[in-house]
Amino acid sequence: METITSKTFNSHNPVDGSVIGSYPNTSAADVAAAVDRARGASVAWQALGFRGRRKVLLKWAAEITKRVDDVAELVRAETGKPISDATLEATLALGHLAWAAKHAESILSKQHRPSGLLMFNMKTNVTRVPMGVVGVIGPWNYPIFTPMGSIAYALAAGNTVVFKPSEYTPGVGHWLATSFADIAPFADIFTCVTGLPETGKALTESAVDKVSFTGSTRTAKKVAASCAERMVPVVLECGGK
């Protein structure tokens, strides 16, 4: 989970400008290394199957629940929102995680389809397999709820995840990765790479198999163009400004 870099940047409280913490400004080389490690872990993660992954994800949900006050305080400090809103956000993120863990098998298991007249003498099945490594880039305004909507479902489906949080809320991203590492059966299933916009750019240009991005329309266009160069599927949730 640790990144290897000599450069760091500070996270500031937007209310009073105080420094909350210092985090690695992860280089492109270190991002690529994190993706490589995630790919190495993906085989074992997929091998756990839906039920094995469900146990891990529900264990993670329980860990976050135990420490929800800690992450809510961090969300409050990095975003400036009231503690009541921060606590609600963390609680709703747990809903994402629990739902994905419990329902992934029923939604993603092999399904039978009608063959149609042209192939009436054949059987048709739809089999879904994990894509591999998913890169998730999150926003600052809902730094746990919004990215969890991508992280939880990607993990439940059998993918490993490399998460780049907003440069304004690196502490929340680091906290999420640390809380997962505390209960994970092995390393590199879910990794956080903190950094400035160049780190996010490096993630979109890395060997990930899919990208989920939430942020401005201007940046989303750059993400889409980067992914299009390599025909990497991308999900974009863009701001209205």
Residue 218, domain CATH: 3.40.605.10
The pLDDT of residue 241 is 62
> Into how many domains does the chain fold?
1
Q: In this structure, is residue 2 part of a structural domain?
A: no
Residue 44 lies in a domain: yes
The answer to whether position 123 is within a domain reads no
Residue 64 CA to residue 85 CA, distance in Å, equals 17
Q: Is residue 3 part of a domain?
A: no
Res 239: pLDDT = 81
Q: What is the pLDDT of residue 4?
A: 46
Domain annotation covers residue 96? yes
Please state whether the predicted TM-score (pTM) of the whole model is above 0.85. yes
Alpha helix segments (H runs only) across 80-208:
83-108, 145-156, 170-181, 197-204
What averages of pLDDT result for each successive group of 10 residues across the chain (241 residues)?
64 96 96 98 98 98 97 98 98 97 95 87 92 98 97 98 98 98 97 96 97 95 95 92 62
Q: With respect to residue 74, please indicate whether it lies within any of the assigned structural domains.
A: yes
Model pLDDT, residue 119? 84
Task: Kindly state the tokens that stand for 166.
Answer: 């907003």
Q: Which residues span the domain enclosing 156?
A: 27-106+133-238
Query: Which has the closest alpha carbon to 71: 167, 169, 150?
Result: 169
